[in-house]
Amino acid sequence: MESIVKEEEGYTLSSPLFEDLWSRAPMRRKFSDRDMVGGWVRAEVALARAQAELGLIPEDAAKAIAEAGRTHAFDMVAMRHGVTATLHQLMPFINQLRDACPGDAGQYLHWGATTQDIIDTGAMLRSKEAMAMIVEGLETLESTLAALCEREAETVMAGRTHGQQALPITFGFKVANWLSEVRRNIDRLKEMSERVFVVSIVGAVGTSAYMGPKGLEVARKVAADLGLGWDPVSWQAARDRLGEMLSTMILTGSSLGRIGHELAVLQKTELSEVHEPHGPEQVGSSTMPQKRNPSIAEGVLSAGLMLRAQAGLAMELMATEHERDDSRWQIDSRIVPEVFLLLDGQIGNLTYLVEGLEVDRERMRANIVDEIAGEPMMRALASFLGRHNAHDVLHECFMTAHEKRIPILDVLSANEAVSAHLNREQLRSLMDPASYLGVAVEVARNEARRAR
């Protein structure tokens, strides 16, 4: 028996060999062909039900269409061949559902609708449900980050700017930055829902002419039935809703990719401040047995890069002509599933990484260099020399220590302008990174508390 499933698809998001690295099974099922057809059925049934209520088609026909939609086992292989033969995405589906209706009920199927109405409405149903899965995943990630943020609120480490140690922070403070960004992305995705997930039941050019004066009321009833929004103005050519949905998801993936990048960098041998979970069967290299690569973090980063690469295409699908344009519309069926699958997989991988993250507190502390005390020393000297004079004196001392490879404490102790006001023990005390954390601990704990 012929199967619609391809057993070998190579390096793709739907590859049976690699798909679990990039996506998760529930989201793959949500973007399966059967789920897509299920959305079309729901759209057609809701349309028939609304039209029957308004007297446009017989009530018995609407009931028969609903029953056929509930019980008919669609032949996906036949539908596949039908799409290839007709070069039409929906007609093979309509023919199967029509033929499954008893009597002449099938003649009232798809009454006054156009192909894009059903496909767009079905896509909105699926996208709304998939978005709920995305938000749920992000909320789980938020809770996981909050626990890490609280646990490491006082873990001192080097704060870095331009790749150089700058001032002391805590690891919890760094995580609070990630946590806050994840929360903003959750808010964005939730806020857009009512505006984005809208039915399209408007006919060939958006005028609902086939349904006459009851066209707007039909669409309103379909929207209520399906739990979607409604707009009296056709959006068949105005694809900004999809553009907003995709761009917001891509923004979210870029945020998560940044976190993945940072976690990969912190695992570098020279830093070795954190380590991602490493399974008992996991292998870092086929030739170097010592390797424990940041594979999960790199995957999170890679997903962010691939999502960003979709941004131009997401905007391109909005450049439609006249009242409808198939050239851009066809982009939807490729880019929407890919963005959902990549983002959902990225969320799952990052959550797993954070849950099992090993934090090497001793290494974080040991990595901090004495030179990180530049600003606290400048603040201490400023009351004697003035802020700008203190900066100039210390800058000269730090450059000397760097160029001559002399411990900074020795250089400072030998400098008359410094030693006149700060003795060696006072300087050593200023080098304690835990004494110059500002509000880092407070911010970390407050941000973790907000997530509860």
CATH of the domain at 177: 1.20.200.10
Cα–Cα dist 243/1, whole Å: 40
In this structure, the answer to whether residues 336 and 425 fall within a common structural domain is: no
Domains contained in the chain, number: 3
Task: Tell me the per-residue pLDDT of 144-183, one tens digit each, with 9 for 90 and over.
Answer: 999 999 999 999 999 999 999 999 999 999 999 999 999 9
3-state secondary structure the chain: CCCCCCCCCCCCCCCCCCHHHHCCHHHHHHCCHHHHHHHHHHHHHHHHHHHHHCCCCCHHHHHHHHHHHHHCCCCHHHHHHHHHHHCCCCHHHHHHHHHHCCCCHHHHCCCCCCHHHHHHHHHHHHHHHHHHHHHHHHHHHHHHHHHHHHHCCCCEEEEEECCEEEEEEEHHHHHHHHHHHHHHHHHHHHHCHHHHCECCCCCCCCCCHHHHHHHHHHHHHHHHHHCCECCCCCCCCCCHHHHHHHHHHHHHHHHHHHHHHHHHHCCCCCCCCEECCCCCCCCCCCCCCCCCCCHHHHHHHHHHHHHHHCHHHHHHCCCCCCCCCHHHHHHHHHHHHHHHHHHHHHHHHHHHHHHCCEECHHHHHHHCCHHHHHHHHHHHHHHHHCHHHHHHHHHHHHHHHHHHCCCHHHHHHHCHHHHCCCCHHHHHHHCCHHHCCCCHHHHHHHHHHHCC
Average pLDDT over residues 385-413: 95
Who's near 316: CB < 8 A, 6+ residues apart?
328, 331
Amino acid 25 reads: A
Among 42, 74, 108, the domain-final residue is 108
pLDDT value at residue 361? 97
C-alpha pair distances (Å), 299 with each of 79, 229, 237: 36, 36, 36
Q: 262 φ, ψ to 5°?
A: -65, -40
In this structure, the answer to whether residues 88 and 163 fall within a common structural domain is: no
C-alpha pair distances (Å), 404 with each of 59, 305, 399, 411, 412: 92, 42, 8, 10, 13
Residue 100 is assigned to a structural domain of this protein: yes
Average pLDDT over residues 253-273: 97
In our burial notation (b when 16+ CB lie closer than 10 A, e otherwise), range 368-380 reads bebbbbbebbbeb
Average pLDDT over residues 272-280: 89
Cα–Cα dist 67/78, whole Å: 21
Question: CATH code at 410?
Answer: 1.10.40.30
> Percent of the chain having pLDDT more than 90?
82
Cα–Cα dist 285/273, whole Å: 21
Q: How confident is the model at residue 1 (pLDDT cuts 50, 70, 90)?
A: very low
pLDDT value at residue 333? 82
pLDDT over threshold 90, residue 5: no
Q: 215 φ, ψ to 5°?
A: -60, -45
Task: Tell me the per-residue pLDDT of 283-337, one tens digit each, with 9 for 90 and over.
Answer: 666 677 767 889 999 999 999 999 999 999 888 888 888 888 877 777 888 899 9
Residue 203 is assigned to a structural domain of this protein: no
Q: How confident is the model at residue 33 (pLDDT cuts 50, 70, 90)?
A: very high
pLDDT value at residue 274? 97
In this structure, the answer to whether residues 138 and 273 fall within a common structural domain is: yes
Residue 173 is assigned to a structural domain of this protein: yes
Task: Tell me the per-residue pLDDT of 210-223, one tens digit each, with 9 for 90 and over.
Answer: 999 999 999 999 99
In this structure, the answer to whether residues 34 and 167 fall within a common structural domain is: no
In this structure, the answer to whether residues 67 and 82 fall within a common structural domain is: yes
The answer to whether the beta carbons of residues 336 and 124 sit under 8 Å apart is no
Residue 35 is assigned to a structural domain of this protein: yes
Cα–Cα dist 245/67, whole Å: 33
The residue segments making up the domain with residue 154 are: 115-198+235-280+288-366
Pick left, alpha or beta for residue 369 (phi over 0 → left; psi -120 to 50 → alpha; otherwise beta): beta
What residues are paired with 156 via a beta bridge? 170
Task: Tell me the per-residue pLDDT of 64-96, one tens digit each, with 9 for 90 and over.
Answer: 999 999 999 999 999 999 999 999 999 999 999
In this structure, the answer to whether residues 253 and 136 fall within a common structural domain is: yes
In this structure, the answer to whether residues 304 and 430 fall within a common structural domain is: no
What residues are paired with 164 via a beta bridge? 161
In this structure, the answer to whether residues 294 and 174 fall within a common structural domain is: yes
Q: How confident is the model at residue 396 (pLDDT cuts 50, 70, 90)?
A: very high
Residue 130 is assigned to a structural domain of this protein: yes
Residue 272 is assigned to a structural domain of this protein: yes
In this structure, the answer to whether residues 329 and 346 fall within a common structural domain is: yes
In this structure, the answer to whether residues 180 and 242 fall within a common structural domain is: yes
Residue 227 is assigned to a structural domain of this protein: no
Question: CATH code at 45?
Answer: 1.10.275.10
The crossing angle, in degrees rounded to 10, of helices 171-191 and 240-265 is 170
In this structure, the answer to whether residues 152 and 181 fall within a common structural domain is: yes
Q: How many CB atoms lie within 10 A of CB 332?
A: 19
pLDDT over threshold 80, residue 433: yes
> Percent of the chain having pLDDT more than 70?
96
pLDDT value at residue 15? 79
Among 82, 108, 134, the domain-final residue is 108
In this structure, the answer to whether residues 241 and 166 fall within a common structural domain is: yes
Q: How confident is the model at residue 20 (pLDDT cuts 50, 70, 90)?
A: confident
The single residue listed with the structure tokens 């088609």 is 57
The answer to whether the beta carbons of residues 154 and 170 sit under 8 Å apart is yes
Among 68, 84, 108, the domain-final residue is 108
Residues acting as catalytic residues: 162, 285
Residue 219 is assigned to a structural domain of this protein: no
The lowest-confidence range among 99-108, 191-200, 310-319 is: 310-319
